[in-house]
Amino acid sequence: MSNERVQLLVAELGKELGLPGMKLDDEQVCLIGTDRGLDVVLNYVDDDDMLIVYCDLGPVPSGSEERLYPELLKANFGWLQTRGTTLSVSGRRVILQTYVACDGLELDPALVLLENFFQRAAQLTDAIRDELVDVQGDEPQDDNRVDPGMFV
C-alpha cells in the first residue's frame, strides 16, 4: 500500500472516529486520545508496509513486579486475554501493541481493529490498575513515558 493510500485510510478512520483532519505526521505517526485518557499511537512503517498500533497502559510500581509480571505473561499466552495484541514491559511501563499489514487493508476492517484495540487497552488498563491498587493500596505513580519510536 502506498504512503498516500495509508494517509487516505487514516483520514477515513479519523472521520469515522469523529476526528476529522486526523493524519500521519512527517514521521508517519498519529496519536489518538481516547475518552479513557489513553493515547493510542498509529505508526506507519513504509519499508515494511505495516501499521504499528500501540498504547502505554501505565506504570509498573516498585514492589509489584513479582505479582504482576506472571499475570502479564499469562495474558499474552496464546493471545487469549490480549486478543491478538501483545503486552510488553518497557522500562517501568506496560505497553500494548499490534502490527497490521497494510496491503489490502480497507476501512471497515481497520475500524474494527482500532475499536477492538481501544476496548482491549481500556480493559487491560483497568485490570492492571486493579492489580496494582491491590498490591500498593493506592494509585501508582506515573513515571518515565515510553518513547514512541522504540517499536520501529
DSSP assignment string, 22-91: ----TTSEEEEE-TTS-EEEEEEETTTTEEEEEEEEEE--TT-HHHHHHHHHHHHGGGTTTTT-EEEEET
pLDDT score for 71: 79
What is the sign, positive or negative, of the torsion defined by CA atoms of 104, 53, 119, 94?
Answer: positive
pLDDT value at residue 146:
46
Position 131 scores a pLDDT of: 65
Closest by Cα among 120, 130, 29, 31 to 79: 120
pLDDT at 128: 77
Q: Which three cell numbers stand for residue 144?
A: 518515565
pLDDT at 58: 86
CA 50 – CA 79 distance, rounded (Å): 20
Q: What is the pLDDT of residue 85?
A: 85
Q: Is 92 left (phi over 0), alpha (psi -120 to 50) or beta?
A: alpha
Give the pLDDT confidence score for residue 78 in this predicted structure: 64
pLDDT of 92 reads: 84
Spans of the chain below 50 pLDDT: 133-152
pLDDT of residue 151: 40
User: CA-to-CA distance for 11 and 22, rounded, in angstroms?
Assistant: 5
